[in-house]
Copies of this chain bind each other. A is one copy, B any other.
Amino acid sequence: MSKEKQFVKEITPQSEDFSRWYLDVIRKADLMSYSPVRGCIVFKPDSYEIWELCQKELDARFKETGHRNAYFPLFIPESFFQKEKEHVEGFNPELPWVTEAGGEKLEERLAIRPTSETMIGHMYAEWIHSYRDLPLLINQWANVVRWEKRTQPFLRTSEFLWQEGHTAHEDEADARRETMQMLEIYREFVENILAIPVIAGKKTPSEKFAGAVDTYSIEAMMKDGKAVQAGTSHYMGTNFAVAFDIQYLDRDNQQQYVHTTSWGVSTRLIGAMIMVHGDDRGLVLPPKVAPTQVVMIPIGPPKTRGPVIARTNELFAELKQAGIRVKVDDRPDQSPGWKFNEYEMRGIPIRIELGPRDMEKGQVVLVSRVSGEKRMVSQERIVEEVKQMLEDIHKEMFERAKAFSKEHFGSVDRLDELKAFLEEKRGFVWAGWCGSDACEAQVKEETGATSRNIPFEPEVVKTHCIACGEKAQHTVVFGRSY
């Protein structure tokens, strides 16, 4: 069997071919491998650790707001999908089916979960009896499978990792409050941790989750102007409660259906993070989820190597002690220049250089991955300076992404304007919409753009529908999407 190293020599420039750039970067930075199973990737340690850091941040937020984790079966009996009509229509085409197990043909086929509303609905019907059992606030960290026709690493894979929150409430008001709370947690996390600015809003009926009354989303703009839906939160009304008979005895001793929600984010966030921040030199990782935040590279001629490395190791220990994720690369067989390129390509937020001159001056040089800015700082203040620079890099990444999004945001009144905008600038637009499915479908058909959401805080208010010209009910963000 041949085992040639799959080596990406150069990274294709983003301006030349963005998709090619993306694939070059994730291979060269060693984030993933294609697996022998169609559409399934291997999350290699660097991408998996980004996910672990995301999990830690999100899990703390879920627990602070009263949620607990649990784990439900991977397999879902076929009959469960039949219970909620829209849900089965939405997911049936993407299901893998287990038909044999333990050497026997199964009586009922089992789907691999694409999402767990049905299984959890079934269990909630067993667990919930009275208003005292409500609200029931549960989250699950799990793998899910959707047999997609076209896949793309991280953004759309047959199997992916996610969390799915599933909650049950006494009434609509409480369930809607939960739905909005979780959307806000996602917005805050994606902006403050991943440094990705998003637009929060409500999905149009044609774009909502199969089985939901209302779906809300946060939408992010990639550097090619396309959208990634970075998180969703759904108010299900009593749809799943009726389908699975989840009733409770209320405070007046009456049987009532619960109101449910579900909400999720997935490993596609890793893809979004790469496409929002990366540049022609490679990855640019947001400091708060970078597996390595700082790489230290001792430099200078062989004769000063000993003391320089010794001092590097001392400073390394200080940074590590302070909770900073730091590495030293003192390999003698690679040049500093090669190392600089390597860690820039891998997106490490800060490079620290330390050479004999710096030793004399009692300083180190901090170099920012995002701007290239160099700071000569006192070795004695290394921990504070590194923390400050990580903070500054986070802010700068967020501001750059925000500026990019602003530059690639149009305001259009007619379909031909939208078409021209997508040709020239790529990006998102504000557009009026009368509220009809037909007009929305027409936009998609003629321009390839879909409604991303109806933002809570539109920056521009449009008065007429982009398709039919009638009075607009909403100002909608349209864009092409992943």
**A125 in contact with B1 (CB, 8 Å):** yes
**A123 in contact with B33 (CB, 8 Å):** yes
Name A130's closest neighbour in chain B (CB-CB). B5
**A45 in contact with B69 (CB, 8 Å):** yes
**A98 in contact with B97 (CB, 8 Å):** yes
- Set B40, B52, B74, B96: member contacting A145, Cβ < 8 A: B74
Please judge, given known A-B contacts A42-B71, A71-B48, whether A77 and B138 are in contact too, CB under 8 Å: no
- Say if the beta carbon of A161 comes within 8 Å of chain B: yes
- Say if the beta carbon of A339 comes within 8 Å of chain B: no
Question: What is the count of identical protomers in the complex?
Answer: 2
A245 proximity list for chain B (CB < 8 A)? 1, 3
**B73 in contact with A40 (CB, 8 Å):** yes
Bound Cα distance A394, B127 (Å):
33
- Per-residue interface assignment for chain A, residues 69 to 104, with 1 indicating a CB less than 8 Å from any chain B CB and 0 otherwise: 111111111001000000000000111111111110
Bound Cα distance A6, B129 (Å):
11
Bound Cα distance A148, B72 (Å):
18
A127 proximity list for chain B (CB < 8 A)? 33
- Say if the beta carbon of A284 comes within 8 Å of chain B: no
Interface residue ranges of A372-399 to B (CB < 8 Å): none
- We find that the number of chain A residues with CB closer than 8 angstroms to chain B is 60
**A161 in contact with B71 (CB, 8 Å):** yes
A138 proximity list for chain B (CB < 8 A)? 45
Interface residue ranges of A112-140 to B (CB < 8 Å): 112, 119, 122-123, 125-127, 129, 138
A68 proximity list for chain B (CB < 8 A)? 45, 48-49
- Say if the beta carbon of A35 comes within 8 Å of chain B: yes
**A52 in contact with B73 (CB, 8 Å):** no
A247 proximity list for chain B (CB < 8 A)? 3
A433 proximity list for chain B (CB < 8 A)? none
**A35 in contact with B73 (CB, 8 Å):** yes
**A48 in contact with B69 (CB, 8 Å):** yes
**A70 in contact with B96 (CB, 8 Å):** no
**A35 in contact with B119 (CB, 8 Å):** yes
A74 proximity list for chain B (CB < 8 A)? 40, 112, 143, 145, 159
A residues touching B (Cβ–Cβ < 8 Å)? 1, 3, 5-6, 33, 35-37, 40-45, 48-49, 51-52, 68-77, 80, 93-103, 110, 112, 119, 122-123, 125-127, 129, 138, 142-143, 145, 147-149, 159, 161, 245, 247
Apart from A3-B245, A74-B145: 6 A-B pairs, beta carbons within 8 A: A3-B125, A33-B126, A37-B77, A40-B75, A48-B71, A74-B159
Question: Could you list 8 A-B pairs, sorted by A, with CB under 8 Å?
Answer: A36-B80, A37-B110, A40-B73, A41-B73, A42-B73, A96-B101, A96-B110, A102-B148
